[in-house]
Amino acid sequence: LSVGARAESVVGRDGAVSRVAFCFDKAKFRFFGGWNGLEVPYPVPFRLLGDKAKGWLDVTYLDDELRISRGNKGTIFVLQRAEIPGIEDIP
């Protein structure tokens, strides 16, 4: 599943990003086999979902290697930075 979203960050008093608000706007399923692949659009346009396609993540902890966030539905995300050859950090 490949998902696209628009996002906006909220800066806290200390100048750091404290919340990221997002709205999903497109998605498609990708099936791969051999040299060829198949892409199928997500069957429901996100704009028809209204506020159900929107959410936010509060950044509760952040350092050079780890980010812990809590989503608007109570989900906790723990993300570890991965080194990907050929991909550089965005300054």
Report, in this order, helix, strand and coil percent for the chain, each rounded to 5: 10, 60, 35
Q: What is the pTM of this model?
A: 0.58
HSE-CB at 69 with a 13 A cutoff on CA atoms is 17
The whole-number pLDDT of residue 35 equals: 57
Please write the tens of the pLDDT for every residue from 12-60: 777 777 888 888 888 888 777 655 678 888 777 777 888 888 999 998 8
pLDDT score for 39:
81
63-75 pLDDT, tens digit each:
888 989 999 999 9
What tokens were used for 86? 């050929």
